[in-house]
Amino acid sequence: MVCKEKSKGGLGVRDVRIVNLSLLTKWRWRLLLPGRALWKDVLVAKYGRHILTNVDWSGVRIPTMASKWWRDICSLDKLVESKNWLVESMVRRLGNGNSTYFWTSIWTGDVSISARFPRLFSLSNQKESMINELCEYDGERWNWTFSWRRALFLWEEELVVRLRDLLATVNLLMEDDGWKWVPDPEGVFSVKSTYLHLVDELRSGEVLEDGKAMIFDHIWDSPAPSKVIAFSWQLLHDRIPTRSNLAVRGILVADVPWECVGCVGSVESSIHLFLHCPSALKVWYDIFRWLGLVIVIPPSLFLLFEVLRASARNVKIRKGFLLIWHATIWSLWKARNGSIFANESFAPNDIVEEIKVTSWKWSLARLKVPPCMYYEWTWDPGDCLLR
């Protein structure tokens, strides 16, 4: 289900992909929670015990026999460029120290002790030790005991003094160790907080032109079905599986046709299939003629959306025009898939009629104003025809 939500940057949509990533993140979180379950035992047997204790899997090799679901879970670490967002989102909440690694877990500050004192970590004989194995309470304070693989130099002893100063305020408790989910103010994991965090992380690097940002802000101002608007959003981001996109991702095999279904000799890209293809151009011109508009086809789908939106005389007409824009995009894609997978024809006249019928049905179901503002009816014995 795609939800509508206006957020920063003008991208007012809850991206299905980000929701799915948030749900996958929930599995990573559940693996870290205490308690034994059969599904955990199965995953440990296949992929190793580190999945129950480590947050950072970036250096772990994915087995060749791993399922696609597991590969997707492992790839969560690499969603955001230049950093491991998942590691930064989970910090250890210290209890009795029985299940928290002293050196490699992030349990004091924003980084692990091994990252803060890499020299000492390289010399330690206790790299895999838990916190409670390195300290002991004497009734007044916690005393820390370290073991090194050689005698320390003077400057290394100074590092140990700094480390002990850092640990001076640490107090172990009676309760078990746990995890804190940083994106949530209360530290509790939720799919919603993960989604909102990923939206910021994944889109923080996107710099949109003002015009494009406005299009994304208004793309939901239409009574078209949510799944259709979500498809239009993916199209404007060039994230639909056209043949050119599949080829870039290495999915399109060599013997699969690469041509557009509406013409000969052109690669099927998003902008070509929905705008520059002669068959698609004929569809758009017929739709504009049907709406009583005279429009010169612009060079991009963004501009086409805005031109159609600006052509409306009032808000009610605008909603209808945007509904027809979405219906045109949707019908072109359906005709394309029918041509490829069902050996149907990619005929502009048939596509135009499909757009009229589809948008009429959506208007009846979703618009509060009479759809006759956009349609004329003639009675043909036994049927109603749009014209």
Same domain, 133 and 152: yes
Q: Is 139 part of any domain?
A: yes
193-201, long-range: CB < 8 A, 24+ apart: 194/21, 194/22, 194/25, 194/26, 194/89, 195/14, 195/18, 195/19, 195/22, 197/85, 197/89, 198/18, 198/21, 198/22, 198/79, 198/85, 199/7, 199/11, 199/15, 199/18, 200/8, 201/79, 201/80, 201/85
Which pLDDT value is given to residue 166?
92
How many CB atoms are located within 10 Å of the residue 241 CB? 13
Which pLDDT value is given to residue 377?
38
Q: Is 186 part of any domain?
A: no
State the total domains in the chain. 3
Q: Is 384 helix (H, G, I), strand (E, B) or coil?
A: strand
Q: Is 183 part of any domain?
A: no
Query: Residues 6 or more apart from 253 whose CB is under 8 A from it?
Result: none
295-301, long-range: CB < 8 A, 24+ apart: 300/271, 300/275, 301/235, 301/236, 301/270, 301/271, 301/274, 301/275
Cα gap 278→284, rounded to integer Å: 10
Same domain, 32 and 104: no
How many CB atoms are located within 10 Å of the residue 60 CB? 14
69-124 pLDDT, tens digit each: 998 898 888 777 667 889 889 888 889 998 888 998 888 877 889 989 999 999 99
Same domain, 53 and 199: yes
Same domain, 308 and 368: yes
Q: Is 363 part of any domain?
A: yes
Same domain, 102 and 73: no
* DSSP H/E element including 91: strand 90-93
Which pLDDT value is given to residue 131?
93
Q: Is 54 part of any domain?
A: yes
Same domain, 108 and 84: no
Same domain, 150 and 227: no
Domain membership of residue 71 as a residue range: 1-90+191-207
| Alpha carbon separation from 338 to 175, 280, 343 (Å, rounded) | 60, 15, 6
What size, in residues, is the chain? Answer: 387
Query: Residues 6 or more apart from 294 whose CB is under 8 A from it?
Result: 288
Same domain, 199 and 233: no
Same domain, 151 and 21: no
Q: Is 195 part of any domain?
A: yes
Q: Which DSSP string do the residues of 244-271 spell out, in sequence order?
A: HHHHHTT-S-TTS--B-TTSSS-B--HH
Cα gap 113→102, rounded to integer Å: 7
Please report, in tens digits, the pLDDT of each residue of the chain (387 residues total): 334 444 434 334 445 778 888 899 999 999 998 888 999 999 999 999 889 888 888 778 888 888 989 988 988 887 776 678 898 898 888 899 988 889 988 888 778 899 899 999 999 999 999 999 999 888 788 899 999 999 999 999 999 999 999 999 888 888 888 899 999 989 999 988 998 888 887 765 454 455 677 787 778 778 888 889 888 988 988 888 888 888 776 666 556 677 899 988 888 999 999 999 999 999 999 999 998 888 888 888 988 998 888 888 888 888 888 999 999 999 999 999 999 888 899 999 999 999 999 998 888 886 665 555 455 433 333 333 344
- Nearest one of 4, 27, 25 to 15, comparing CA atoms: 4
Same domain, 74 and 15: yes
**CA torsion through residues 131, 136, 142, 145, sign:** negative
Cα gap 156→177, rounded to integer Å: 30
Q: Is 237 part of any domain?
A: yes
Which pLDDT value is given to residue 211?
63
Cα gap 375→137, rounded to integer Å: 82
Same domain, 331 and 264: yes
Q: Is 352 part of any domain?
A: yes
Same domain, 157 and 41: no
